[in-house]
Amino acid sequence: MAKVKSSFFCQNCGTQSPKWIGKCPSCGEWNTFVEEVIQKEESTVGTWKQGSGKQKRAVVPKRLQEINFEEQSRLVTQDAELDRVLGGGIVPGSLILIGGEPGIGKSTLMLQIALILNNTKVLYVSGEESESQIKMRAERMPHKSENCYILSETNTQSIFQQIEALQPELLVIDSIQTLHSNYVESAAGSVSQVRECAAELMKFAKETGTPVFLVGHITKDGAIAGPKVLEHMVDTVLQFEGDRHLAYRILRTTKNRFGSTHELGIYEMRSDGLRQVANPSEILLTQRDEALNGVAIGAMMEGNRPLLIEIQSLVSPATYGTPQRSSTGHDAKRLNMLLAVLEKRGGMRLGQQDVFLNVAGGMRVDDPALDLAVCASLISSYEDSPVPEDICFAGEVGLGGEIRAVHRIENRITEAEKLGFKRIMVSKYSVKGVDLDKYNIKVIPVSKLEELYQGLFGE
C-alpha cells in the first residue's frame, strides 16, 4: 500500500503549497489553506471504464494530416436562447459549466432543458435535492418527457455505475461541488474533490461523446467556487445573471471553445419555469406616457444580437461636500471620462453636480457605442429638457469630443427601425459606404459633441 500523501490547498483560488501558510501568495486571502489528502492508494485516477461498446479513441500520436475529421452535428434544443449562447447547439462530448447565484434558476433551467429534449435520453443527477423534490418542480413545467431519468447521488463511483447501465445521451450534474470520489480523502466541495470529480466527468465526456452539463456554485465575489483549473478544464462556461427579485434572467457566455463569447440569452422567470424572451429590446425599453428628462435610448450589440437599451441619468447640484458619481450597470470609470469630456469639450459645468447613471432592465453593459446615448442622457438631465422619444443613438465618444465609428452599424439601424424609431444619430464615419436609402428611418451623421447638442436642443 502506497504512503498517504497530503498537501495544503487555498480554498479561495486553489493554490497548492507543501506546508501551511497564513496568507495565500496568489489571491492574498488569509487563513484559507486547508490540508487535503492527495493520494490515498495506488489506483487509476478516473473511475470511468470503457465498457459501453463505443469506439475508444486512439492513444497513439498521429500527424495532424493523418487525423480523420468528421464534423459532428450539434444537438439542437427547442430553447433558442441556449442554442444561441452555445454557438448553435450542444456539441457532442462537450463539458459545459453553468454558474450563478443561489436561487437564480440554474436547476430550473437544467431541468427544463432535460424535459424539452423528449427524443434524447437524459440523466439528471442531483446532489442537492431528493427525487420527490425534483418531481414536484417538474410538475409545474409545461414540458413532459419520457426519456428524462432522475438520480439522487453524490458518489462518482455509484454515478458511473448507473451511467454504464443506462447509457444516457446527455448528462446533467447538479452540482459539481456536491460530488465526492473515493480516491480523494477530503470533504465534498474542496479543491481536491472538485478537481478530481471534474476530471472523471471530462474523461467520460471525451471518450463517449456524451455532452455533460455541470452546475457550479459561485463565491461572494461572483466567481465559480472551487479551483480555477475547473474553468480551464471545461469547454464552455455560462454565467446565469440577474436579480432574483426581478423577473428577467440573463445567460451570458464567458468561455466557449465552439462559438462566440459575446452572446447572451434572456429569460423571464415564471411560476411554470423560464420563458424565452425573443425580442429583448421591448422589455429593456420603459413604456412612458410622457417624455422624461435624462432618458436616452442607445443601440448596442451583444455578440450578433442588436439590443436597444434605455439609459437614465440624474444630474443635480451637490448639496453635501464632494459631488457623487454613481453608475449602475455601466462602467464608473468610463462615466467619469465622459463627464470630463462634456466639461472640457462641451463647456458644461459638472464639477459641482451629483451624477447618477442607471441602465434600465438590470443589465450590465460595456459596449462603447452607448457613449453617445450616455452623453445625450446627461445633457438632457443637465439642461432639464427631454430627449425626443423617436430618436436613438449609436456612437463612441473620444477624448477630443469626436464621435467615433462603431461596428455593425447596419444591424443597429435595422433594430431601431423595427422598433418604430424615426431617427438614429450615429457617427458620420460609420455610414461610409452604407446605402441609407433602403431604410425607412432617418440616419443623422454627427462628428462632434457640438453637433449632438445642436441636433437635440439647438434652436
**102 marked ligand binding residue:** yes
- Burial letters 56-72, b for 16+ CB under 10 A, else e: eeeeeeeeeeeeeeeee
Amino acid at 445: P
End-to-end CA distance of the chain: 89
The CA angle 437-441-447, to the nearest 5 degrees, is: 85
**Nearest one of 79, 170, 73 to 121, comparing CA atoms:** 170
**388 marked ligand binding residue:** no
CB-CB contact of 304 with 298 (8 Å): no
Owner of C-alpha cell 415564471: 270
**450 marked ligand binding residue:** no
CB-CB contact of 452 with 372 (8 Å): yes
**173 marked ligand binding residue:** no
**Nearest one of 87, 75, 57, 80 to 212, comparing CA atoms:** 75
Q: What is the dihedral of CA 417, 420, 421, 427, to 10 degrees?
A: -10
**104 marked ligand binding residue:** yes
DSSP 65: G
Alpha helices in 181-310 (DSSP H): 191-208, 229-233, 280-284
| Residue 269: other Cβ atoms inside 10 A | 17
CA 63 to the chain's CA centroid: 37
**344 marked ligand binding residue:** no
Owner of C-alpha cell 465526492: 180
Number of H helices, E strands in the chain: 11, 21
How far is Cα 56 from Cα 58, in angstroms, rounded to an integer? 7
Q: Which residues pair with 311 in a beta bridge?
A: 296, 359
At 391, phi and psi to the nearest 5? -125, 145
**87 marked ligand binding residue:** no
At 99, phi and psi to the nearest 5? -125, 160
CB-CB contact of 409 with 426 (8 Å): yes
How far is Cα 153 from Cα 155, in angstroms, rounded to an integer? 6
**280 marked ligand binding residue:** no
**Sheet architecture: strand order including 391-394:** 325-328, 353-359, 305-317, 295-302, 391-394, 423-427, 442-446
DSSP 405: -
Residues placed in the known binding site for ATP: 100-107
Residues placed in the known binding site: 100-107
